[in-house]
């Protein structure tokens, strides 16, 4: 049975990605950091649907915790088929109010974690004869967002990282791709007012906010297509194009 590990996998987009893999028969491992209650509730919700995902707690921006997480993973499973680097945070501030601490925290969670997790699994995937890595970026990493300079820069870095690593690992049959969500109905966008949401919808060609499941289906597609690597798949209903 194939395995998939999703960082930040217990809510929002990560939870939808996990469900998409579970529905296709994967053994799924859900990483979370601090919200144990939500993690347990998600696990129970999946259990009620007949699935049995495993929870692994780790701050994926911390090198030692990442090493320990994958040590625990490989003590249970022989191989990892799919790694989804989904953990991420955002902060809305004009650049004048953005502190160095803000910048470093966003890059630690959004970029450093992707690097650490990829580095930790590469040798295992190469030795197993292949694997798939999906990094979650954002439409703002492609086009930029006012008042989200740090977030946009971090997600742009994820795209560049993906393209570079894909070239490095392609000869070893390890594919690296990126999924770039647009405006998705998650807690990260819960700050939007009704008027702001309506204004956004008017700028989305398909005429609606995306759902986490839209992203989940895209991630599975990218993970399972054996001839796609180094690509960025935008899931935004045409927004920002």
Active site residues: 151
Closest CA relative to residue 85, chosen from 27, 138, 147, 25: 138
In whole angstroms, give the CA distance from residue 227 to residue 101.
40
The CA angle 186-181-207, to the nearest 5 degrees, is 80
- Tokens 């090493």, residue? 67
Nearest to 33 by CA among 72, 82, 71, 87: 87
- Which neighbouring-strand residues pair with 177? 134
The percent helix, strand, coil of the chain (3-state, each to 5) is 50, 15, 30
Cβ-proximal residues to 142 (8 Å cutoff; 6+ apart), any chain: 156, 159, 180, 232, 234, 240
Burial class (CB in 10 A: 0-12, 13-18, 19+), 196: exposed
d(CA 194, CA 197): 5
How far apart are the C-alpha atoms of 138 and 17, rounded to whole Å?
15
């Amino acid at each position: 049975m194939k395995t998939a590990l999703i960082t930040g996998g217990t809510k929002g987009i990560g939870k939808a990605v996990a469900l998409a893999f579970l529905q296709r028969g994967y053994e799924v491992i859900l990483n979370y950091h601090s919200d144990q209650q939500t993690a347990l509730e998600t696990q129970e919700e999946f259990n009620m649907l007949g699935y049995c995902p495993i929870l692994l707690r780790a701050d994926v921006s911390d090198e030692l915790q990442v090493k320990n997480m994958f040590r625990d993973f490989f003590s249970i499973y022989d191989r990892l088929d799919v790694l989804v680097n989904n953990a991420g945070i955002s902060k809305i501030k004009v650049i004048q109010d953005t502190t160095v601490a803000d910048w470093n925290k966003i890059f630690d969670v959004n970029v450093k974690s992707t690097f650490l997790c990829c580095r930790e699994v590469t040798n295992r995937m190469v030795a197993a004869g292949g694997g798939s890595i999906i990094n979650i970026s954002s439409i703002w990493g492609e086009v930029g967002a006012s008042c989200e300079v740090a977030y946009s820069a971090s997600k742009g870095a994820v795209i560049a990282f993906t393209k570079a690593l894909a070239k490095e690992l392609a000869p070893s049959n390890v594919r690296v791709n990126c999924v770039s969500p647009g405006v998705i109905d998650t807690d990260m966008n819960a700050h939007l007012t009704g008027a702001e949401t309506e204004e956004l919808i008017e700028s989305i060609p398909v005429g609606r906010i995306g759902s986490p499941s839209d992203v989940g289906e895209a991630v599975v597609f990218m993970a399972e297509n054996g001839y796609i690597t180094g690509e960025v798949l935008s899931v935004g209903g045409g927004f920002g194009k």
